[in-house]
Chain A
Amino acid sequence: MNKNQGNIATKLCQVGLCTDEKTGAISTPIYQTATFRHIGPGQSTGYDYSRTLNPTREVLEKEIAGLENGDCGFAFSSGMAAIAAVVGIFKPGDTILASDDLYGGTYRFFETFARPHGIKTLYVDTTKDKEVAALFSKEKIAGIFIETPTNPIMKITDVKKMAALAKNNNAIVIVDNTFMTPLLQQPIGLGADVVIHSGTKFLAGHNDTLCGLVVTKSQKLSERIGFIQNASGGILSPFDSWLVLRGIKTLSVRLERSQNNAQKIATWLSRHPHVVNTYYPGLVSHPGAALHKKQASGPGAIISFRVTNAKRALSILRNVKVISFAESLGGVETLITHPSRQTHTDIPLTTRQCLGISDDLLRLSVGIEHVDDLIADLKTALEK
């Protein structure tokens, strides 16, 4: 059996294994170097300058491409730098369709950076195929940008259906797979052309590094993204590339445990009298649960929930002890976030209200603590 066959859990724990032929080191070396010696004029070792190619970053880029079954991987200094590079493949006059429920940083990028550069984004509920199809027939669409589950309402989009619509209209399908990771969902197999990760989250998994990753399906897209990565230079450092590789090695144990915890917490929350609504695709009551089960192998470890009023939400944030009140998600530690005031503040109030991102909504990124401690902490905070 070679390394590219077998269960993804095996692949995950062996990322970056024995990449250094010279020494046989089990762990990938950190090449903290800016540049590389040339033997003579025009004679390169293949490595010239670390912005263009760094051996440590290269290992991470190859591994993420393998995990997502893509052609090439690219590592960036943050998830937003990855998104900025991908949107760079479009040109002025192009229109992108995006899931209406979307990470606030992505929305900010589309509206205040891409739009002045001539790239327009239309927002649509991508869970509704007919609405998307109607937009495709009305306008020339160059690409579609999907989060599934969405952040923070956890809506599920049918990636295969979106890909079919896009293919018919020569549009590129981009999926932000941050919430799922390749362990639970592999969008390229569902028809995506480009997969994006905030590697900061589950892939790195320790809340200790920022990282963005891009995987492309075709060689043509690989060349384009490679050009943009080198030309605009938002690359990941060698040390952080190594930290992300190190994080990926424990992804399957971390995410499996976080997911088990999340399933129990979501069930508990959904029965609590102070909780109005629990958004988690692992609950059978979730409208996208069946579809999610078809395209992903697990519901993940992010739960959003709505409490009776905003005052109670604030009280929970003040009273949690085991859970940290912080932005971000996907780490070994459980974090609680207030989307309307933190991750999604850049989305206009009226849009937030339409989407249900109001002050009574909280987002929980479930970590690997003992689930009883997490539930006890939530219970105390909810009932205070």
Chain B
Amino acid sequence: MDIHNPVNYDTSILHGAADRDEVTGALSIPIYNASTFHQKDISVRQEFDYGRSGNPTRKALEETLAGLESGHSAYAFSSGMSAIHAAITAFVKAGDHIVVTRDIYGGSYRFLTGFLSKFGVTHTFVDTTDPKNALAAIQPNTKILFLESPSNPLLKITDIVAHVKIAKDHDLVSMIDNTFLSPYFLRPLELGIDISIHSATKFLGGHSDLIAGAVIAKTKDLASSVHYVQNTCGAVLSPQDSWLLLRGIKTLAARMTHQQKTALTVAAWLQKQSWVKSVFFPGLQTHPGHNILTGQAHGFGCVLSFETDTTERLNTLVKNVKILTVAVSLGGVESILSFPAKMSHAAMPASTRAQLGISDTLLRLSIGLENADDIIADLDNSAKPS
């Protein structure tokens, strides 16, 4: 068996491109904290000349990321937002238009409405749970179809294959923010998507200790456009953080499997509580996107949202949790409880939040590696303090 082409995905995560240093045999790739590289001969173009253009530690990470989602190439950025910035600006110019999933991460919303719109790039938000909406929003100047599935924070599911067809028919670059499911549960390029984007801060990194972004491109042409922006605008991931991210990816399979199991248990428990108004988790059979997700992904993820019966209940719960950490972000080994209206989606106007159903009683829970019983007990005790 070729160690770089193992039979099982879980094994390929550990033995991807960067499983050993060729020179020393070290099982961990060295951290090359070098900004520049000695050039032996002017007439020979060496692989590495300047750390922004290429760094051996970052390269090992980028090859690993490309391998995880069957991409031609991948690129690592200093944050999820700089990954989105590069992926989008690589394919639009002033006057172009983007069709986007409506309930998208607040930071992506801010980027499109507050930043990109200033450069003459317009967008239309659509509910991508029905492909007809994206189709209807396409204009002659549309260049990108940008999806997020499961969406943030309401975990709505988009039919990826149907949207890929729409993008192909209209010559659009199809992109998806695959942060929530991670390559472990969803490989969008295998479904025909052109570009997959991650906030690698989340499940890929997995330890809430670094900020990173990733862009994975299906073809050489798509990849070179993204690489051009990475090198030109320079929002590259540092060698130290590239190494930390590689280290995080080694436990991706183990973490995702365990966290998903706990998420299912917690979601099922929440559904039965009288103080819980609704639970949003695509792993539940009652979730409207459950069947579509089962058809396109290898799992449901580890993030769920739920609404409490009252805002007082939400405040009590958030104030009293002991095991859960109240913070923005998600995808770490620690369970993180967040309040979208005031945190991740604060950049959205209140009226837009209301339209999307991001209410003031909605909480988002990213399930970590704690024992399921402890998480449930913490939620139970905090919601109903004695």
Contacts and interface: CB of A to CB of B under 8 A. Distances in A.
Contacts of A233: 77-85, 107, 211, 213, 235
A325 B36 CA distance: 10
Contact of B35 (A41, A91, A105, A209): A209
Contact of B94 (A118, A239, A317): A118
A227 B78 CA distance: 16
Contacts of B232: 80, 84, 105, 108-109, 112-113
B85 A232 contact: yes
Contact of A118 (B84, B114, B120): B120
Contact of A76 (B213, B229, B235, B237): B235
A317 B332 CA distance: 49
A318 B240 contact: no
B36 A328 contact: yes
A77 B238 contact: yes
B49 A326 contact: yes
Interface in A304-321: 314, 317-318
Interface in B207-234: 208-211, 213, 228-229, 231-234
B52 A239 contact: no
B240 A237 contact: yes
A50 B52 CA distance: 21
Given A92-B120, A326-B37, A32 B234 contact: no
Contacts of A35: 208, 327-329, 332, 336
Interface string A318-341: 100000111110010001001001
B79 A210 contact: no
A231 B235 CA distance: 13
Nearest to A329: B36
A237 B329 contact: no
A335 B332 CA distance: 42
Contact of B78 (A113, A204, A235): A235
Contacts of A273: none
B50 interface: yes
B51 A109 contact: no
Given A76-B235, A105-B232, A48 B328 contact: yes
Given A34-B329, A210-B238, A237-B78, A231 B115 contact: yes
A327 B45 CA distance: 12
Nearest to B82: A233
B238 A324 contact: no
Contact of B236 (A32, A77, A208, A243): A77
Contact of B81 (A232, A314, A327): A232
Interface residues of A, number: 69
A268 interface: no
Interface in B232-259: 232-238, 240-241, 244
Interface string A152-179: 0000000000000000000000000000
Contact of B50 (A33, A118, A328): A328
Contacts of A231: 81, 107, 110-111, 114-115
A204 B40 CA distance: 25
A295 to B, nearest CB: 28
Interface string B3-41: 000000000000000000000000000000111111111
A314 B42 CA distance: 7
B85 A240 contact: no
Contacts of A240: 238, 240
B315 interface: yes
B50 A327 contact: yes
Contacts of B329: 34-35, 49
Contact of B33 (A50, A116, A243, A326): A243
Nearest to A237: B238
B384 interface: no
Nearest to B326: A38
Contacts of A49: 328-329
Given A51-B81, A78-B234, A207 B35 contact: yes
Given A118-B119, A232-B85, A235-B211, A207 B34 contact: yes
Contacts of B210: 32, 34, 237
A49 B81 CA distance: 13
A287 B120 CA distance: 43
Q: Which of B49, B205, B314 neighbours the largest number of chain A CB atoms within 10 Å of its CB?
A: B49
B39 A239 contact: no
A342 B49 contact: yes
Interface in A218-239: 227-228, 230-237, 239
A191 B4 CA distance: 57
B224 to A, nearest CB: 13
Contacts of B85: 232-234
Nearest to A82: B234
A42 interface: yes
A171 to B, nearest CB: 18
Nearest to B207: A34
Interface string A88-117: 100110000000000001001100110011
Interface string B59-96: 00000000000000000011111111100010001100
A28 to B, nearest CB: 16
A24 interface: no
A212 B235 CA distance: 10
Interface in B130-179: none
A81 B209 contact: no
Interchain residue pairs A-B with the least CB separation, the first 6: A233-B81, A80-B234, A78-B234, A234-B235, A233-B79, A35-B329
26 contacts: A35-B327, A38-B318, A40-B318, A41-B315, A77-B82, A78-B52, A80-B52, A88-B115, A91-B118, A109-B232, A117-B89, A118-B94, A207-B36, A208-B34, A209-B33, A210-B51, A232-B82, A232-B85, A233-B213, A233-B235, A234-B85, A234-B235, A237-B210, A239-B241, A326-B37, A327-B50
Interface of B: 33-43, 49-52, 77-85, 89, 93-94, 107, 110-111, 114-115, 118-120, 201, 205, 208-211, 213, 228-229, 231-238, 240-241, 244, 314-315, 318-319, 325-329, 332, 336, 339, 342-343
Interface of A: 32-42, 48-51, 54, 76-84, 88, 91-92, 105, 108-109, 112-113, 116-118, 200, 204, 207-210, 212, 227-228, 230-237, 239-240, 243, 314, 317-318, 324-328, 331, 335, 338, 341-342
